[in-house]
Homo-oligomer: A and B are copies of this chain.
Amino acid sequence: MEPSLDIDPSVLSLVAELVGTAVFAASGASAAVGKRLDLFGVVVIGVICALGGGAIRDLLIDAKPLVLTDWRYPLVALVASLFVFRFHPALSRMRPMMLVLDAAGLALFTVVGTVKGLDFGFAVYAACIVGVLSGIGGGILRDVLVQEIPAVLREDFYAMAALIGAVIVGIGARWESVIGHWTLSLIAIATIFVVRLVAIRYRWEAPKPKF
């Protein structure tokens, strides 16, 4: 299928990652605005939230941190944070859209992280761990810095949605020659995205401990 699109797949991949970076930066900057931090605080939290998941991933698999080898990532994170700083009242009226974008960022980062883990020769289960940490790591850093219990630990089906997608990539990789790399990635991204949105919409709840 890909050849018929006549688009270089690596461009698609880059665009997907940059969109995820912008979305996570916006999410971090929004949290910082909510804590009444000033311009610098908003930018620092936005950038760490956008780039932290990928940095954790690259440290674990011993890759050069992407943020230090490609200037487009910090630039996009910076611009998205400044954008939120300036336009946050309008954005707060678009909270549903932010949730959709955040689900997209989670889906993109998890799948990219899992693929990168496999590419670096790790076992399927290990690549899944790396992928899930890529997807949820930035948000965990954001919440630790603004002194909240990480949302990923409170929001049902956040880490779980990421795990489902990572497992699809990990298991599917065995039949990648049949399915095709991009089809597989798209299926996994779509699954995380849909599971996350359905979980929000229908307020799926994970079991709580009984007392």
Residues of A whose CB lies within 8 Å of any CB of B are 32-33, 35-42, 44-45, 55, 59-62, 64-65, 67-69, 71, 74, 85, 88-89, 117, 122-123, 125-126, 129-130, 140, 144-150, 152-154, 156-160, 205-211
Contact = CB atoms under 8 A, between A and B. Distances in A.
A117 to B, nearest CB: 8
Given A32-B153, A145-B144, A153-B45, A206 B129 contact: no
Copies of this chain assembled into the complex = 3
A40 B85 contact: no
Given A37-B154, A38-B156, A153-B40, A130 B68 contact: yes
Contact of A129 (B59, B67, B123): B67
A44 B153 contact: yes
Contacts of A129: 67-68, 74
Contact of A125 (B41, B74, B147, B209): B74
Contacts of A55: 60
Given A140-B145, A149-B146, A39 B71 contact: no
Nearest to A51: B129
A208 B36 contact: yes
Given A60-B68, A153-B32, A38 B205 contact: yes
A208 B38 contact: yes
Contacts of A130: 68
Contacts of A71: 123, 125-126
Contacts of A36: 208-209
A102 B59 CA distance: 28
A107 to B, nearest CB: 17
Given A45-B153, A64-B62, A158 B40 contact: yes
Given A89-B211, A207-B39, A208-B39, A145 B156 contact: no
A39 B206 contact: yes
Nearest to A161: B40
A20 to B, nearest CB: 19
